[in-house]
């Protein structure tokens, strides 16, 4: 195993000689081209935690190639946007921000500009970048991360533009160094891709088929993070509940959780995202009886209407969803439930939407991620007829937010006077208070010394402010 000196730098396997070679060649070139004492990279990540985890791999490689990191694109020798394709709005933002890089390239012609991630797996997007953004030198998709050193080296050496989309490559690379953004909480991907093909979703089209990491690789990485002082580990996958499918060994996600949970140490274990169709009682029992797993279940239901769920190809009904929730509440007292919801799916009527409203009232979620449906070319829903107008969808969305605000506020109020174990994460620059999270993923703000960041504290809850709690560390 190739563990490294920095506590947030990790690689499961030795970095292969070829990759090292490319990285040191990049280092040699950048040593001449750099504009500061060290070559600087600006890496900006859009979208979900899977993208954040991918960026941490790319940063690991850049670190090995001698780069330091800057938050200011103007200062950078290498600029990378890791992009998201989940909704049209996300793509528009990327196009806008890429357009703005033109001026930086004009001022500093030696800067190399690269784009990667889900958007780049779409031919139409890659074509548009090729034609309209000539200052972008390197484009690669989610499947090409393993080739990044070679691709960057080639761009630097011969100055030609490279567009590499390698959608057939489903290899899981265990031999890429990971440079984590934080030293006390970190992402740990356990699987890649998605086989569910929800009819609205672009992810299976851009991230490819579902594939699980070997359990030993996951467990070793978790252990190494705990030994390095990580206090929170979040296991990542588009559908963690189907972990293990296709592996030689016979292992479920619940079993993987139990094996990680048995590692000694003071840490909290989270995971996302669960799919209700695969959310087993075994998983809920595992959470209920575990030592380290957070009492939190993020279980996206998307719509409260069984008719819409069918059109979404979600493969569960409203009743089946509510049955899992009932079981979770029974087995895990005070379980914190969160979810994703789409408003305005094609064919959704106000009556369907009311079923979503009634479901959130019944479940009483801690918080929700709410989205207005966005048409994704190439997905089955993109050609389904719509019945509601954009204005109506906007009104429903506002109604949903207002309803959830009341639910979250009531839940937070009921916690005043209780004590909670929290992990202190950062300082809120606006309030000057320390921001921490409960096991149920609720934010608690409290006065305290910044040296507490990265430690567990006990907080007495003194006040509820909508969906955020205020308290004192005791
Ligand atoms: N439009 C709106 N929201 C979407 N999501 C996925 N695809 C779309 C889309 N086309 C939402 C789902 C998913 C979350 C990550 O993003 O709620 O759970
Ligand atoms: Fe998209 Fe559905 Fe897969 Fe989630 S489970 S990534 S919503 S296709």
pLDDT along the chain (474 residues), means of 10: 59 84 97 96 97 96 96 97 96 96 97 97 95 97 93 95 84 91 95 97 95 96 95 97 95 98 98 96 97 97 98 98 98 95 98 98 97 97 96 98 96 96 96 96 97 98 94 96
Q: In Å, how far from its chain's centre is CA 213?
A: 17
| In the block, residue with structure tokens 């809120």 | 428
State if residue 200 touches ligand 1 by the CB under 6 angstroms criterion: yes
354 vs 373: CA distance, rounded Å: 16
Ligand 2 binding pocket, CB closer than 6 Å = 194, 196-198, 201, 203-204, 238-239, 275
Whether residue 40 is contained in a domain is answered as: yes
Task: Give the residue numbers spanning the domain of 451.
Answer: 419-473
CA of 191 to the centre of ligand 1 (A): 19
pTM of the model: 0.95
Could you give the angle at which helices 49-64 and 17-33 cross, rounded to 10 degrees? 70
The answer to whether 373 and 342 are in contact (CB under 8 A) is yes
Q: How far is the CA of 201 from the centre of ligand 1 (A)?
A: 6
Is there a domain that residue 34 lies in?
Answer: yes
Check if 374 has its Cβ closer than 6 Å to any atom of ligand 1: yes
Give me the pLDDT at residue 359, please: 98
Residue 452 exposed, middle or buried by CB count within 10 Å (0-12, 13-18, 19+)? middle
Domain assignment of residue 462, yes or no: yes
Say if 184 falls within a structural domain: no
Ligand nearest to the CA of 88: 1
Give the domain CATH number at 143.
3.40.50.2300
Q: Report which bound ligand comes closest to the CA of 346.
A: 1
User: How much is the CA Rg of the chain, to the nearest whole Å?
Assistant: 23
What does the pLDDT read at residue 319? Answer: 98
Q: Name the residue with the closest Cα to ligand 2, atom 1.
A: 201
Which of 164, 196, 218 is the endpoint of a domain? 164
Question: Left if phi > 0, otherwise alpha if psi is -120 to 50, otherwise beta: which for 229?
Answer: left
Q: Is residue 86 part of a domain?
A: yes
Within a domain: 37? yes
Report the pLDDT value the prediction gives residue 171, as an integer from 0 to 100: 86
Q: Which ligand is nearest to the CA of 275?
A: 2
Given this model, what pLDDT does residue 1 score?
39
Distance CA 435, CA 140 (A): 36
CA distance 259 to 209: 25
Grouping H, G, I as helix, E, B as strand and the rest as coil, residue 434 is strand
**Length of the chain (residues):** 474
Could you give the CA distance from residue 42 to residue 15 in angstroms, rounded to a whole number? Answer: 23
Could you tell me which of 387, 359, 360, 393 has the C-alpha nearest to residue 374?
393
The answer to whether the beta carbons of residues 132 and 126 sit under 8 Å apart is: no
Domain count, the chain: 2
Closest Cα to atom 13 of ligand 1: 340
Regarding the beta carbon of 205 and ligand 1, being less than 6 Å apart is answered: no
373 lines ligand 1 (CB under 6 A): yes
Domain boundary, last residue among 141, 164, 187: 164
Mutate to test the pocket of ligand 2, among 142, 196, 202, 312 (most ligand atoms within 8 A of CB): 196
Q: Whose CA is nearest to atom 12 of ligand 1?
A: 340
Q: Which ligand is nearest to the CA of 299?
A: 1
Of the bound ligands, which one is closest to the alpha carbon of residue 86? 1
- Expressed in angstroms and rounded, the spacing between residue 371 Cα and the centre of ligand 1 is 7
Residues linked to residue 422 through DSSP beta bridges, in sequence order: 438, 457
CA of 221 to the centre of ligand 1 (A): 30
81 within domain boundaries: yes
Is 426 a member of any domain?
yes
CA of 452 to the centre of ligand 1 (A): 36
**Among candidate residues 164, 183, 203, the one where a domain is terminated:** 164
Rounded CA gap, 283 and 276, in Å? 11
Residue owning the nearest CA to atom 9 of ligand 1: 374
Question: Domain containing 449 — which CATH number?
Answer: 2.40.50.140
| Ligand 1 in reach of 212 Cβ (< 6 A) | no
């Amino acid at each position: 195993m190739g563990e490294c000196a920095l506590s947030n730098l990790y690689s499961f396997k030795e970095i292969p000689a070829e990759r090292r070679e490319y990285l040191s060649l990049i280092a040699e070139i950048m040593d001449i081209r750099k504009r500061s004492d060290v070559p600087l990279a600006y890496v900006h990540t859009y979208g979900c935690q899977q993208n954040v985890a991918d960026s941490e791999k790319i940063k690991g490689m850049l670190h090995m190639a001698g780069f330091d990191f800057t938050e200011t694109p103007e200062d950078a020798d290498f600029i990378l946007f890791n992009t998201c394709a989940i909704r049209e709005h996300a793509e528009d933002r990327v196009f806008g921000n890429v357009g703005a890089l033109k001026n930086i390239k004009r001022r500093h012609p030696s800067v190399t500009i690269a784009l990667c991630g889900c958007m780049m797996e779409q031919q139409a997007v890659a074509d548009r970048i090729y034609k309209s953004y000539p200052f972008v030198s390197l484009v690669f998709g989610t499947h090409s991360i393993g080739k990044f050193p070679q691709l960057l080296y080639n761009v630097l050496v011969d100055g030609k533009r490279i567009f590499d989309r390698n959608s057939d490559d489903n290899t899981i690379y265990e031999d890429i160094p990971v440079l984590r953004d934080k030293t006390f909480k970190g992402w740990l991907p356990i699987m890649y891709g998605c086989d569910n093909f929800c009819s609205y979703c672009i992810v299976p089209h851009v991230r490819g088929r579902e594939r699980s990491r070997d359990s030993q690789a996951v467990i070793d990485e978790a252990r190494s993070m705990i030994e390095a002082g990580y206090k929170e580990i979040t296991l990542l996958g588009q559908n963690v509940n189907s972990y293990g499918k296709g592996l030689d060994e016979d292992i479920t996600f619940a079993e993987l959780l139990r094996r990680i949970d048995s590692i000694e140490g003071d840490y909290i274990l989270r995971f996302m995202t669960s799919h209700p169709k695969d959310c087993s009682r075994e998983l809920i029992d595992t959470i209920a009886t575990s030592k380290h797993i957070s009492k939190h279940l993020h279980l996206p239901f998307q719509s409260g209407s069984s008719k819409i769920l069918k059109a979404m190809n979600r493969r569960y009904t409203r009743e089946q969803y509510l049955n899992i929730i009932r079981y979770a509440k029974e087995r895990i007292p005070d379980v914190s439930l969160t979810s994703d919801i789409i408003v305005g799916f094609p064919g959704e009527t106000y009556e369907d939407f009311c079923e979503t409203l009634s479901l959130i009232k019944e479940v009483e979620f801690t918080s929700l991620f709410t989205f207005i449906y966005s048409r994704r070319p190439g997905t089955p829903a993109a050609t389904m007829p719509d019945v509601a107008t954009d204005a109506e969808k906007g009104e429903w969305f506002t109604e949903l937010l207002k309803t959830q605000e009341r639910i979250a506020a009531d839940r937070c109020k009921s916690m005043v006077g209780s004590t909670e174990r929290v992990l202190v994460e950062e300082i809120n620059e606006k309030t000057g208070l320390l921001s921490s999270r409960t096991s149920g993923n609720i934010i608690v703000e409290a006065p305290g010394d910044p040296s507490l960041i990265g430690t567990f504290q006990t907080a007495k809850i003194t006040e509820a402010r909508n969906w955020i709690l205020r308290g004192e560390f005791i």
